[in-house]
Amino acid sequence: MANDAVAEIRDRLDIVDLVQQYVPGLKRTGRSFKGLCPFHQEKTPSFVVFADSQNFHCFGCGKGGDLFTFFMLIEGVEFREALRDLAVRAGVELQQGGFVTPQHDEDRAKLIGANDLAATWFHHILTKAPQGEAGRRLLQERGISDEMVERFRLGFAPDSWELLLSFLGSRSIEPELALEAGLIQERRSGDGHYDRFRNRFMFPISNRDGEVVGFGGRAIGDDMPKYLNSPQTTIFDKGSLVYGLDLARESIRKAEEVVIVEGYMDVIAAHQFGHENVVASMGTALTEAQVSQVRRGAKRIVMALDADAAGQMATLRGLETMTDSMGNEDEQQSTNAFGIVRFERKLKTEIAIAQMPEGKDPDDILRQSPDDWPSLIKRAQPFLDFTIDILTGDVGADDARGKSEAVHRIAPLFRQITDRVVQAHYVGELARKLRLDERIVLSEIRRTNMAGRERSLRQQVSRESEQVDGRARERTNENYLTALLLRHHQLTADIVAAVPLDDIHDARNRAILGTIASEDLSGMTAEQFVVGLEEEIADHADYLLNSLEGRPEQFPGQIRMETTQILSNLGKERFGFLLRELQSDLREAEKREDGDAIELLKEQLRSLAERHGRYNPPVSPYFKDSRSPAR
Ligand SMILES: [Zn+2]
């Protein structure tokens, strides 16, 4: 869960180590570390990292916060990316796979060379050799033109165990290399090798630059499996490859649209009939890596699916169990609707569904009635519209159970939409279709969220109750303040706007308060607001809102007073803490009679007072503040 990951990363990483990578001159002074601020130009160091409380503060520009905040600021990334990168550094697992092993250029070129040679050989067999007869029959049956055979470098693997192996040998490709390229396999006896693809129609699979990195082989007879791909190799990663992308790139850019089909044959048929912006997933559920590749240059992604596949996509099968891993970014695949909506959000792309007529797949449509293809694609429905239609289609006006089920199933999907306007649109859409009050739909969304987070909530609560040091107390005050400001944002808009974000340590609290302050939330409840937040931040926001439950109702005036009070306390605590740090440094510098350091520290005290003067600090001989007549 995201909350656990955040805590785990905080436990494992030291902010001092992290900052040192960006601020080379960071030096220990007492219990803290000092260096030149990476966020503003300065000649003398006023940037301090506090090892004990694991946060930082710049006495020059006023920036401050925790490990996550530092990383977000210095790398210019959003919380999600910071979480992902820091997880890698901390060795905390957020997602399975997805990381590409760095590949030595020379090895890579050799592997691609071997695959390319094999592609040429398969192609020769299909077009010229007697052993390719079965392949040529298939070409005829499917009506694949010679032009497509050339464009896609289609080929045929003869019904033999060692023909490719010996051909590769004749071209000085060692068995070790052929094995690594996934072209041959080791005999079980451990004695020698044999061809991996036998009696199969061969589709070379290229990366987006057109380099052959592997193959898909379609069985000619009843051999199983019907489709056999190259094994996972250092250059062949099924999850990140898209069939036909190298040939479709131009056309995708021109059409500003990409169509994803399921089969290799569908892609070839589409190209043959002049629709060249068509690619295929690799016989598995679509992955995030694939979507992120095809969307380049495309404003819209259309998935062209036969009726069965489209129906399955919208049944949201398995969604109930997935609410369990809601905060989890592991699920990189579109195994269901949940993945699709996540892709749309994360990749900021629209995905639409074009459903083929009952009993037909794209290949059938393209061959039998190619003129229908453009209109089918044009009529593709945005994924959520499509899903809502399917899920509400057979729910009658009086079918209470059906309505409940539909809302229950679709609620977690809505949770994935961050664009508030879009989200409100679909909540309204679903409510209208089911003839329900929008509030019921909203409360269901919230209820589903909570169920998925109970575990992480319990863990966080127990962790917080174990910690009694100042760091935890600080965090708790900060959390409480954020919770109040979130729950009552209508009442406290002016207070939120005045919160100095650099005094807020938890990057998630900063994100929540920053969003409340910068967006127009009039007429929006806290729940509606939370639904639209990024996942990890929404997790935290839910936790905050939940922590307020069970507290007695308060009058608006009390709420305003309380938030103002906590805010002021937080500022005072922060100010007091920084002041003590500087004063103790100053005493040491005075003992050492280090004139430069004394000057610098006095300057920093002055700047601290300017920024925090509103907290009415005790009068100090070292600085002027808002009470000084000079101002
Ligand atoms: Zn600074």
Q: Do residues 291 and 343 lie in contact, with contact meaning Cβ atoms separated by under 8 Å?
A: yes
Q: Could you give the C-alpha distances from 43 to 39, 332, 603, 604, in angstroms and in order?
A: 13, 46, 13, 13
Exposed, middle or buried by CB within 10 Å (0-12, 13-18, 19+), for 487?
buried
pLDDT at residue 1 in the model: 42
Distance between CA atoms of 26 and 20, rounded to whole angstroms? 6
Q: Could you give the C-alpha distances from 532 to 279, 344, 420, 515, 543, in angstroms and in order?
A: 32, 14, 6, 11, 15
The letter for the amino acid at 569 is: N
Q: How far is the CA of 48 from the centre of ligand 1 (A)?
A: 9
Q: How far is the CA of 36 from the centre of ligand 1 (A)?
A: 8
pLDDT at residue 309 in the model: 78
Q: How far is the CA of 605 from the centre of ligand 1 (A)?
A: 14
Q: How far is the CA of 2 from the centre of ligand 1 (A)?
A: 30
Q: How far is the CA of 75 from the centre of ligand 1 (A)?
A: 15
Q: What is the CATH T-level fold of the domain 2-90, as seen in this structure?
A: DNA Primase; Chain A (3.90.580)
Q: How far is the CA of 41 from the centre of ligand 1 (A)?
A: 7
Q: Do residues 246 and 233 lie in contact, with contact meaning Cβ atoms separated by under 8 Å?
A: no
Q: How far is the CA of 325 from the centre of ligand 1 (A)?
A: 39
Q: Do residues 189 and 209 lie in contact, with contact meaning Cβ atoms separated by under 8 Å?
A: no
The letter for the amino acid at 440 is: I
pLDDT at residue 547 in the model: 81
Q: How far is the CA of 629 from the centre of ligand 1 (A)?
A: 27
Exposed, middle or buried by CB within 10 Å (0-12, 13-18, 19+), for 378?
exposed
Q: How far is the CA of 148 from the centre of ligand 1 (A)?
A: 61
Distance between CA atoms of 532 and 423, rounded to whole angstroms? 7
Q: How far is the CA of 134 from the centre of ligand 1 (A)?
A: 72
For the chain, what are the domain ranges?
A: 2-90, 111-236, 464-556, 557-615
Q: How far is the CA of 573 from the centre of ligand 1 (A)?
A: 21
Q: How far is the CA of 504 from the centre of ligand 1 (A)?
A: 16
pLDDT at residue 76 in the model: 83
Q: How far is the CA of 607 from the centre of ligand 1 (A)?
A: 11
Q: Could you please report the per-residue DSSP string of 35-78?
A: E--SSS--SS--EEEETTTTEEEETTT--EE-HHHHHHHHHT--
Q: Do residues 416 and 342 lie in contact, with contact meaning Cβ atoms separated by under 8 Å?
A: yes
111-236 matches 2-90 in CATH topology: no
pLDDT at residue 266 in the model: 93
Please name the CATH architecture into which domain 111-236 falls: Alpha-Beta Complex (3.90)
Q: How far is the CA of 74 from the centre of ligand 1 (A)?
A: 12
Q: How far is the CA of 600 from the centre of ligand 1 (A)?
A: 14
Q: How far is the CA of 49 from the centre of ligand 1 (A)?
A: 12
Q: How far is the CA of 199 from the centre of ligand 1 (A)?
A: 67
Kindly give the pairing relationship between strand 257-261 and strand 227-229.
Answer: unpaired
Q: How far is the CA of 47 from the centre of ligand 1 (A)?
A: 6
Q: Do residues 626 and 613 lie in contact, with contact meaning Cβ atoms separated by under 8 Å?
A: yes
Q: How far is the CA of 491 from the centre of ligand 1 (A)?
A: 33
Q: How far is the CA of 46 from the centre of ligand 1 (A)?
A: 7
Which residues in the chain come in under a pLDDT of 70?
1-4, 94-105, 283-284, 314-336, 338, 448-475, 612-631
Q: How far is the CA of 60 from the centre of ligand 1 (A)?
A: 5
pLDDT at residue 316 in the model: 55
Closest among 157, 163, 158 to 204, alpha carbons compared: 157
The letter for the amino acid at 188 is: R
Residue 533 is given by DSSP the state S
pLDDT at residue 483 in the model: 92
pLDDT at residue 122 in the model: 97
Q: How far is the CA of 21 from the centre of ligand 1 (A)?
A: 17
Kindly give the pairing relationship between strand 200-206 and strand 257-261.
Answer: unpaired
Predicted TM-score of the model (pTM): 0.57
Q: How far is the CA of 58 from the centre of ligand 1 (A)?
A: 5
Q: Do residues 294 and 279 lie in contact, with contact meaning Cβ atoms separated by under 8 Å?
A: yes
User: What residues does the ion ligand 1 have nearby, CB within 5 Å?
Assistant: 37, 39-40, 58, 60-61
Q: How far is the CA of 586 from the centre of ligand 1 (A)?
A: 20
Q: How far is the CA of 452 from the centre of ligand 1 (A)?
A: 40
Q: How far is the CA of 603 from the centre of ligand 1 (A)?
A: 13
Q: How far is the CA of 503 from the centre of ligand 1 (A)?
A: 14
Kindly give the pairing relationship between strand 278-280 and strand 155-157.
Answer: unpaired
| Residue 415: φ, ψ to 5° | -60, -25
